[in-house]
Structure 1
């Protein structure tokens, strides 16, 4: 990984973050992920796969024409180390939530104030989380078994997503608490009562940061991505439950990686006196 040598490099990072997160927005920039999966699939050759998303609906054309698309491959030689990005500031708290099968994934949505993260002085409130199997982001070309997306929005409706990838191993705590709901969920949204987002375990401070897009239609750009370096574990049974719950054809719901197109990718690692995990 490359390290900055210019003393003004951190200022440059902030400028780039601002440009990437503000000047690429269109009037529909804050559109949510599509909830109706009927028009699209993840199967290439079906006419509705990822390579065709941009042609299915005029509102989705950025899926093909966009220059800030996600997911990406986090390749070591492209990453710039910036310790001054600072540790990820998150302050979550238990709140009422619901679970729904969107067909293409399982989503948990918090209805009350479930806390927030802070990026460069801006608060982004926790909105929802959902899972992709296998992972969407790759590390030096390697794809993991699952990826959790934790979605946040600020007061302007701008989006910041934290991604955590998983390999097979011990059971994941959050999925353990939701396991029976996931296995029995139908088409209706179901209240979960109080759900503690603190059950989402991060397990480390190191992360990657870049500006990208939603990974499902409408592929809206300007999303600030934070991908945790730590690889967590999930059981095979938990992954199978997620795959069994979604609609046929969406058991594998990971979009292929997209071209970086010159975007910077930053990597935060704690300084020695801060500790490292």
Structure 2
């Protein structure tokens, strides 16, 4: 690594540690809105993504924020870092599946484990899906994106994004398929569910500071997007789309302006 790159890495790490020491920007930053009726994903409408910030005063950052998600992960703007920079420690725990109208969510009711980012523990809370993918890579959109939402003891949020393309069925979703097809307004008990069954490769990934991708669009979220693209079957995508409320079959927020933000690519082989 050349001297300029080393200087950048040291600067980034200093800024990142300062960020983690700041007070939380919201009392419940991981709380995405559960009532889907006020907003839609219809482009160029008052209730669509361009108008979310005008629907509710608490959502104004959706339109005014400078650190919004998702973004395009363009290689030309990515800075390489030789560091793993996180650890996963998941375990089986009781879980339920819920239809939030705009998406399908699996919530763990017990201790499902955690990830560690820069010496801070983030406990796994829930996961949900967006179709097509919200983040893009060099302008390429994928068929599905899984978000694994974690929170720290101080209320901070870290989200892992996993991208999927059409191919072999996803084993984790295969276990959930009956629940996805059956879930209505009432949650369904899934019994003990192991988040390790999600099975995504973790050695190479993108990281940046962004926001929730649904209202209230809270900023200060640590995003980690796994580089390796996994596979999902057409039946599984169809099940997720059929389960949500009409109008939310495609539930992806458009790519947001990067606004000069740094995106870091972690590769232990660099």
- TM-score, normalised to structure 2's length? 0.95
C-alpha distance in 2, partners of 1:24/1:140? Answer: 34
1:101 to 99, 102, 106: 99
Alignment of 1:57 with 2:53, yes or no, is no
Equivalences for residues 64-103 of structure 1 within 5 A: 64-84=63-83, 86=84, 88-103=86-101
Counterpart secondary structure, 2:254: coil
Corresponding residue number in structure 1 for 2:29: 30
Corresponding residue number in structure 2 for 1:158: 156
Equivalences for residues 1-277 of structure 1 within 5 A: 5-20=4-19, 23=22, 26-28=25-27, 30=29, 32-84=31-83, 86=84, 88-271=86-269
Counterpart secondary structure, 2:11: helix
Deviation at 1:271, TM superposition (A): 2.3
Counterpart secondary structure, 2:6: coil
Q: Contact 1:107/1:130 (CA < 8 Å) preserved in 2? A: yes
1:63-85 superposed Cα distances (whole Å, 9 cap, x missing partner): 0000110000000100000113x
Pairs aligned (count): 270
Deviation at 1:204, TM superposition (A): 4.4
Q: Any gaps of 5 or more consecutive residues in structure 1? A: 273-277
Q: Contact 1:24/1:222 (CA < 8 Å) preserved in 2? A: no
C-alpha distance in 1, partners of 2:93/2:26? Answer: 31
Q: Contact 2:30/2:151 (CA < 8 Å) preserved in 1? A: no
C-alpha distance in 2, partners of 1:17/1:69? Answer: 18
Q: Which moved more, 1:87-96 or 1:153-162?
A: 87-96
Sort the Cα spacing of 1:96 and 1:253 in 2 relative to 1 into closer, same or farther, 3 A: same
Q: Contact 2:41/2:248 (CA < 8 Å) preserved in 1? A: yes
Deviation at 1:26, TM superposition (A): 3.5
C-alpha distance in 2, partners of 1:155/1:23? Answer: 14
Q: Any gaps of 5 or more consecutive residues in structure 2? A: none
